[in-house]
A and B are shown apart, each in its own frame.
Chain A
Amino acid sequence: MRYSTFNQNQVNPLHEPMFFGNPVNVARYDQQKHAIFEKLIEKQISFFWRPEEVDVSRDRVDFQGLTDSEKHIFISNLKYQTLLDSVQGRSPNVAFLPIVSIPELETWIETWSFFETIHSRSYTHILRNLFTDPSEVFEDIVINTEIQKRANDISKYYDDLIFYTQLAQTLGEGEWEIDGVKHVVNLRELKKRLFLCMNSVNALEAIRFYVSFACTFAFAERDLMEGNSKIIRLIARDENLHLVSTQQILNLWQYGKDDPEMQEIAEELRDEARNIFMSAVAQEKEWAHYLFRNGSMIGLNEEMLCQYVEYIANMRMEALGFDAPFEQRSNPLPWMNKYLVSDNVQVAPQEAEITSYLVGQIDSEVSVADLGDFEL
């Protein structure tokens, strides 16, 4: 089943499963098998933003005033988020586009991944402002062992699905030996890998950002690094949408509203799906430990962060029909909510309380003299 960029066969996308049916041919949205993806596309596009519109210039002064342990927290989180969005800016495209079978989901995947590239570009925007040369920060992302551990877990399910899809689409079904390793390729095996991968992506979007978000918003609570906080609020809003899309896919499978074989697989691999989530939770707690190894920051410590991870994890697992695994039922960081409310970030740029948001094309530091002969 070789991939074609324009499948010449007449297919009815209303009868196709989300994945592993026929490749999509006509990009049409007048009829939809799963209308939710078209709604997600519309919502995501309505959230469009450019990092350059957020004025981060005041953060440089704030950053210089942070303690060394706070600087470690701030920069480590940016590194981790850079890793996450590096992966997400490409992997949904590379892994899912060759196997997707309905146009509204295909376009959702592309829209989703495109927004992750905005996130990636925003980290460069933040770091360029803080450092004359941010190379050292970026270069550490592939060397730092704490980040490496996470990179491995995040990418392995994608890589496995991509590799098996490549085998299936070039060699077809069968048993293939590649570099001395045997691989059994059939549709069931492919679908299992897709299921595990989707769970891993779901866990990424569901909880992997939240330790970092909490630190960012804890700085903002002290009126520090507010430019960064504005960007992270926009990112958090996007991530929520991404999460909802993976929850939709997993629930559609689970409830037998798409491919019946995926419903079987969802049941068969339920424990594995749970383990993927629980190991992401454990890694996030370890990350909190790493962040605070040189000391805490005002308003936040390792224990509170771990409680918050558990609180969020309960919510996310219940959304997939798992029992809540943790005791933590109340929100240990209630101030987080005001940064996660979507309305707060949609306020028109000219409104006073958010002066540094969307300063537009003019730099906040530009003086009248800089405008030269310009007639005001």
Chain B
Amino acid sequence: MADSYKVTVNGQHQLTVEPSEQTTLLEVMEQAGLKPHYHCRNGFCGACRVQLIQGEVSYLTDPLAFIRPGDCLACCCTPISDVEIKQ
């Protein structure tokens, strides 16, 4: 089992995710008391878009919103490496 992944938000918040729990990036940010943007929480509105500066994510639900290069949809993806994101 891999160790937990580090999630860096806006270059200042250091959060951790247990790979086995498949927590979405949105939930990770909320659990840390941050106020990320969201609407549908289901991958079809794109409101939760964040910049994925470094690292990789995998999608838990098939996103319908267009994912521009360098972005990811926080509500439906989970990190699969240490990641750095910006919102």
A residues whose Cβ falls under 8 Å from a Cβ of B: 36, 39-40, 43, 237, 240-241, 243-244, 247-248, 251-252, 315, 318-319, 321, 330-331, 334, 337, 340-343
B37, B44, B62, B68: the one within 8 Å of A240 (CB):
B44
A-B interface pairs (CB < 8 A), number: 63
In the complex, the answer to whether A337 meets B39 with C-beta atoms within 8 Å is yes
B35, B38, B62, B65: the one within 8 Å of A244 (CB):
B65
Q: Shortest Cβ distance from B73 into chain A, in angstroms?
A: 11
A237, A319, A331: the one within 8 Å of B66 (CB):
A319
In the complex, the answer to whether A342 meets B41 with C-beta atoms within 8 Å is yes
Complex interface: chain B residues within 8 A of A244 (CB):
44-46, 64-66
In the complex, the answer to whether B42 meets A342 with C-beta atoms within 8 Å is yes
Q: Which residue of A lies closest to B37 (CB)?
A: A315
26 contacts across the A-B interface (CB closer than 8 A): A36-B64, A39-B62, A39-B64, A43-B44, A240-B39, A241-B45, A241-B64, A244-B45, A244-B64, A244-B65, A244-B66, A248-B65, A248-B66, A251-B68, A252-B66, A315-B49, A319-B68, A331-B35, A331-B37, A334-B35, A340-B47, A341-B40, A341-B41, A342-B44, A342-B45, A343-B41
| A-contact bits for B46-83, CB 8 A (1 contact / 0 none) | 11010000000000001011101000000000000000
Q: Shortest Cβ distance from B10 into chain A, in angstroms?
A: 11
Q: Which residue of A lies closest to B42 (CB)?
A: A342
In the complex, the answer to whether B39 meets A43 with C-beta atoms within 8 Å is no
In the complex, the answer to whether A337 meets B38 with C-beta atoms within 8 Å is yes
Apart from A240-B44, A315-B47, A330-B35: 15 A-B pairs, beta carbons within 8 A: A243-B46, A244-B45, A244-B46, A244-B65, A247-B46, A247-B65, A248-B65, A248-B66, A315-B49, A319-B68, A321-B68, A337-B39, A340-B45, A342-B45, A343-B42
A330-B35, A341-B39 known; A240-B45 Cβ under 8 A: yes
A244-B64, A244-B65, A248-B66 known; A318-B49 Cβ under 8 A: yes
Q: Shortest Cβ distance from A60 into chain B, in angstroms?
A: 30
> Which residues of chain B (25-47) have a CB below 8 Å from chain A?
35, 37-42, 44-47
Complex interface: chain B residues within 8 A of A318 (CB):
49
Q: Dominant SS at the B interface?
A: loop
B residues whose Cβ falls under 8 Å from a Cβ of A: 35, 37-42, 44-47, 49, 62, 64-66, 68
Question: How far does the alpha carbon of A321 sit from the alpha carbon of B70 in the complex, in Å?
Answer: 11
Q: Shortest Cβ distance from A237 into chain B, in angstroms?
A: 7
Q: Shortest Cβ distance from B7 into chain A, in angstroms?
A: 20
Q: Shortest Cβ distance from B14 into chain A, in angstroms?
A: 21
Q: Shortest Cβ distance from B46 into chain A, in angstroms?
A: 5
Question: How far does the alpha carbon of A251 sit from the alpha carbon of B85 in the complex, in Å?
Answer: 22
Question: How far does the alpha carbon of A40 sit from the alpha carbon of B66 in the complex, in Å?
Answer: 12
Q: Which residue of B lies closest to A249 (CB)?
A: B66
Question: How far does the alpha carbon of A337 sit from the alpha carbon of B41 in the complex, in Å?
Answer: 10
Question: How far does the alpha carbon of A36 sit from the alpha carbon of B49 in the complex, in Å?
Answer: 18
In the complex, the answer to whether A237 meets B49 with C-beta atoms within 8 Å is no
A240-B44, A241-B44, A315-B47 known; A247-B38 Cβ under 8 A: no
Question: How far does the alpha carbon of A241 sit from the alpha carbon of B68 in the complex, in Å?
Answer: 17
Question: How far does the alpha carbon of A330 sit from the alpha carbon of B45 in the complex, in Å?
Answer: 18
Q: Which residue of B lies closest to A240 (CB)?
A: B45
Question: How far does the alpha carbon of A319 sit from the alpha carbon of B71 in the complex, in Å?
Answer: 10
A244-B45, A315-B49, A331-B35 known; A342-B40 Cβ under 8 A: yes
Q: Shortest Cβ distance from B53 into chain A, in angstroms?
A: 15
A315-B47, A321-B68 known; A340-B40 Cβ under 8 A: yes
Q: Shortest Cβ distance from A319 into chain B, in angstroms?
A: 5
Question: How far does the alpha carbon of A239 sit from the alpha carbon of B12 in the complex, in Å?
Answer: 35
Q: Shortest Cβ distance from A45 into chain B, in angstroms?
A: 13
Question: How far does the alpha carbon of A214 sit from the alpha carbon of B40 in the complex, in Å?
Answer: 16
Complex interface: chain A residues within 8 A of B40 (CB):
237, 240, 340-342
Question: How far does the alpha carbon of A342 sit from the alpha carbon of B40 in the complex, in Å?
Answer: 5
Q: Shortest Cβ distance from B25 into chain A, in angstroms?
A: 16
Question: How far does the alpha carbon of A247 sit from the alpha carbon of B47 in the complex, in Å?
Answer: 12
Complex interface: chain A residues within 8 A of B45 (CB):
240-241, 243-244, 340, 342
Complex interface: chain A residues within 8 A of B68 (CB):
251, 319, 321
